[in-house]
Amino acid sequence: MGTVEELKRKRDVFGLMNIPREFCERRDSVALASMIDRMTHRPGSTDIFLGSERMRVTDMVDDARAAAKALGDLRDKRAVEVLTKALHQPLEVSIAAVVALGKIKDDRAVEPLIETLRDNSSQVRRDAARVLTWMGDERAVGSLTRVLEDDDGYVRMEAEKALDRIKRRIAKR
């Protein structure tokens, strides 16, 4: 198996999702993308469980965020399922997954991104609205319209942009 950087150059999504932890250089490059899929975090806890292994949140979040970012950079639609599961992980991972899904622009990501518009974090809601702007999918109209009432001005602004883009797409038909 090659290094993480070699796998990225080869656009080997499955290789990136299965890199053994010992091959990953912490904070130097992408870590296990597969850990995103296997990671469970109990809100309010400082622990994450990777399978049955208990680890500190701070030990895992940076790697999971980097893995989500790398999968988005590859723009490979095979990563959509893993990234949609990552929308429910700690904040930094969720944000990276939202942006990665926006880069991939796969229709399967639209509904999970719409659900993310109800996230507790305004940053996640804002990024989800921004990504839905990039995607311009009509399925988001109802939820984006509700987001126009969001407490956060940046979230409202992104929702307005998304709705405007969708309206222009419809008008071009």
> Residue 90 pLDDT more than 90?
no
Task: State the SS3 of 79-132.
Answer: HHHHHHHHCCCCHHHHHHHHHHHHHHCCHHHHHHHHHHCCCCCHHHHHHHHHHH
Q: How far is CA 125 from the centre of its chain?
A: 12
> How many angstroms separate the CA atoms of 2 and 8, rounded?
10
> How many angstroms separate the CA atoms of 151 and 31, rounded?
35
pLDDT computed for residue 14 by the predictor: 47
Backbone angles phi, psi at 48, to 5 degrees: -120, 145
3-state helix, strand, coil in the chain (%, to 5): 65, 5, 30
Of residues 48 and 88, the one with the higher pLDDT is: 88
Q: What are the beta bridge partners of residue 54? A: 49
The number of residues in the chain equals: 173
What does pLDDT average to over the chain?
A: 75
> Which amino acid, residue 74?
L
Scan for tokens 């070699």, then name that residue.
6
- pTM more than 0.75: no
Mean pLDDT, residues 127-153 taken together: 95
Of 48, 170, 139, 118, nearest to 31 by C-alpha is 48
Domains, the chain, ordered by start: 1-104 (no CATH), 106-173 (1.25.10.10)
Of residues 70 and 20, the one with the higher pLDDT is: 70
> Residue 162 pLDDT more than 90?
yes
Mean pLDDT, residues 148-153 taken together: 96
What H or E segment, with its residue span, contains residue 50? Answer: strand 47-50
pLDDT computed for residue 173 by the predictor: 80
Mean pLDDT, residues 9-33 taken together: 43
Distance (Å) of CA 133 to CA 127, 136, 157: 10, 5, 11
Mean pLDDT, residues 38-64 taken together: 50
